[in-house]
Amino acid sequence: MTNKTTHGHDMDHHIKSSEALIDKYKKPVMAGLAVVVVAVAGFFLYKSFILEPKNQKANEALFKGEQYFAMNDYERALKGDSTGYKGFIYIAEEYSSTKAGNLARLYAGMSYAQSGNYQEAVKYLESYDKCDDEMITPAAVGVLGNCYAQLNQLDKATETLLKAAEMADNNTLTPMYLQQAGEIFESQGNTDKALNCYNEIKNKYPQSMQAVEIDKYIERLSK
């Protein structure tokens, strides 16, 4: 087990302050969002055109917003345009009891996160009604954890990231969230919990991208 005097010697793999941690998590937030976008796009098309013809009006509005989102036009995606589209915020409120409204809350949260407004992102992501699926909900929870990290709410960030990792239980999302949680634990000086995260990647997800260099993380903390 490493002692605190050696903590932080490898600058490429270690986070020495909360401020540095927040900077580090700008890219993971975007990476997490990219995963969600891909998952949500397919989910949305399936829900819109196969499962929910009764919500045609809401789905059509949501589809227009998704187009703006894909173009990185988050302002119009959130608040609407001058041609009749009213925005994710409106859809989330107007159709709050529908699945389209729930998906609009997720899109709104992602749009705010992509815009750097993490406080609003958290509000919408927390209100998103989790579904029983293998990708969208874990990814949405993971993005929420990243947003907490951006707001320097590190305990909530680790708790949420570990929850997302457990919900996903796959080689794509779980190791990413375990590594993020581990690095936050390191920044807090919680070596044991960080090692637990890294060892779980090594032992349970050896085929993941994160597993390629995870031994370096483990060795650094095990000296």
For residues 199 and 187, the answer to whether their CB atoms sit within 8 Å is no
Structurally, how many domains does the chain consist of?
1
The pLDDT tens digits for 40-95 are 655 555 555 544 555 677 788 888 898 898 898 999 999 999 989 999 999 999 88
For the record, the structure tokens of 78 come out as: 């959130």
In percent, the amount of the chain with pLDDT more than 90 equals: 53
Determine the structural domain holding residue 158 and report its residue range.
18-222
Residue 12: inside a domain: no
For residues 38 and 80, the answer to whether their CB atoms sit within 8 Å is no
Span 23-38, average pLDDT = 56
The pLDDT tens digits for 178-198 are 999 999 999 899 999 999 999
Domain of 88, CATH number, reads: 1.25.40.10
Residue 86: inside a domain: yes
Q: Whole-model pTM? A: 0.79
What is the distance between the alpha carbons of residues 41 and 53, in angstroms, rounded to a whole number? 17
Phi and psi based region of residue 14 (left: phi greater than 0; alpha: psi -120 to 50; beta: remaining):
beta
Residue 8: inside a domain: no
Span 103-108, average pLDDT = 92
